[in-house]
Amino acid sequence: MEQPSFDPGLTQKFSGHLRRFINKDGTFNVHRQGASWRVTHPYLHLINVSWPAFLAIVLVAYMAVNTLFAVAYFLVGIQQIHGAEAPTAIGRFMNCFFFSAQTLSTVGYGSMSPHGLAANTLSAFEAMLGLMGFALATGLLFGRVSRPSARIAFSDQMVVAPYQDGVSLQFRIVNQRRNSLMELEAKVMLMTVEDAGSESKRIYKPLTLERPSVYFFPLTWTIVHPIDRESPLHGKTAADLEKLQAEVLILIKGYDDTFSQTVLARYSYRYDEITWGARFTPAFHVDSEGDLVLEIDKVGELAAADSSASPA
């Protein structure tokens, strides 16, 4: 009976030219189309956007709400807001805007106050909206700050370097943060593209690692795949990997002792991001007091290997 082909969930059949499957920031190179607006979840979007985008959205929403209520107060009549009088229309509108900001945030300095049924009703509704809005913004802010995430830096290049009596494929990672990551596991697979008649087909092959896990991660970890006779890379050259559009897909999983949660990191290297005949230089040293000093910016520094690294 034929064994089913290995598919990690990235599909095998496709048409057209594929740039890469996992982007440098760890996201999948997949664009979604055709989904209904009903499946859109604003919370997920606001949790996942960048900090500049999140702060910009909050600021724009705050300004828009205050502008909307300022227009409403202006139309109700400036005479219904005590202390908002001004000689010009622009001045009166700006007073309405700042009164809205005070009402929305429930600050209420006392220099301006509503008079009349319309203004009091409008300000009461805005105060309720402000309490709900700021509660939502606070929850989003807490969710973003408290969400555990791995800041694992990967070396810019993989290397094919001498290893024991042969060669190996290697890359190096480091924890950029001061939090403690433990029980790290690495899973690495090789994706190649092969012609299958009129269409192309992706082939996925797991790469066996010299050490698939480590207990502690205070320094760097060089992850090594020995290129032996059982390796999918055995006998392959740089030209072969380019022809196959090879991409090495990586999943790192570890336990964050600070947040007491599991964190994940994804990365990939394309065939043109593999340096042949090189090795990683040390990224830490011992100082004069006997302490280890980790140099995070040197995680990807390379030097020429002692001997030629050819997998043939």
The DSSP result for 275-298, as a single string, is: EESEEEPP-EEE-TTS-EEE-GGG
Q: So what's the pLDDT on residue 65?
A: 96
Q: So what's the pLDDT on residue 147?
A: 78
The answer to whether 273 and 157 have CB atoms below 8 angstroms apart is: yes
Angle between helices 51-76 and 117-146 (to 10 degrees): 180
* Distance (Å, whole) CA 155 – CA 222: 10
Q: So what's the pLDDT on residue 69?
A: 96
- Same fold flag, 37-146 and 149-304: no
Confidence of residue 167 (pLDDT cuts 50, 70, 90): very high
Confidence of residue 3 (pLDDT cuts 50, 70, 90): very low
* Distance (Å, whole) CA 33 – CA 161: 42
Q: What are 16-40's pLDDT values in tens digits?
A: 566 777 777 777 777 666 666 666 7
Q: So what's the pLDDT on residue 12?
A: 62
Is the pLDDT higher at 102 or at 38?
102
Confidence of residue 310 (pLDDT cuts 50, 70, 90): very low
Confidence of residue 120 (pLDDT cuts 50, 70, 90): very high
284: left (phi over 0), alpha (psi -120 to 50) or beta: beta
Nearest to 221 by CA among 148, 295, 154: 154
Is the pLDDT higher at 233 or at 308?
233
Pairing of strands 274-276, 158-163: parallel
Q: What is the dihedral of CA 258, 262, 263, 267, to 10 degrees?
A: 150
The answer to whether 180 and 215 have CB atoms below 8 angstroms apart is: no
Task: Summarize the confidence of residues 215-241 as an average pLDDT.
Answer: 94
Report whether pLDDT(67) > 60. Answer: yes
Q: So what's the pLDDT on residue 224?
A: 96
Helix/strand number for the chain, H first, E second: 5, 17
Return the exposure string of 166-183: e unless at least 16 CB atoms fall within 10 Å of the residue's CB, then b. ebbbbbbbbbeeeeebee
Confidence of residue 311 (pLDDT cuts 50, 70, 90): very low
Q: So what's the pLDDT on residue 140?
A: 92
Task: Concatenate the DSSP letters of all residues of 212-230 into one string.
Answer: SEEEE-SSEEEEEEE--TT
- Any residues with CB less than 8 A from the CB of 41 and at least 6 apart, and which? none
- CATH 3.40.640.10 is the classification of domain 149-304: no
Is the pLDDT higher at 256 or at 6?
256
Domain locations in the chain?
A: 37-146, 149-304
pLDDT more than 90, % of the chain: 62
Q: So what's the pLDDT on residue 22?
A: 79
* Distance (Å, whole) CA 297 – CA 129: 47
Q: What are 129-151's pLDDT values in tens digits?
A: 999 999 999 999 998 888 777 78
Confidence of residue 197 (pLDDT cuts 50, 70, 90): low
- CATH 1.10.1060.10 is the classification of domain 37-146: no
Confidence of residue 123 (pLDDT cuts 50, 70, 90): very high
The pTM (predicted TM-score) of the whole model is 0.73
Mean of the per-residue pLDDT values for the chain? 87
Return the exposure string of 120-129: e unless at least 16 CB atoms fall within 10 Å of the residue's CB, then b. eebbeebbee
**Hey, which residues does 10 pair with through a beta bridge?**
none
Q: So what's the pLDDT on residue 52?
A: 94
Strand residue runs (E) in the chain: 13-14, 81-82, 113-114, 152-154, 158-163, 166-175, 181-196, 199-206, 213-216, 220-226, 247-256, 261-270, 274-276, 278-280, 284-286, 292-294, 302-304
pLDDT more than 70, % of the chain: 88
Confidence of residue 88 (pLDDT cuts 50, 70, 90): very high
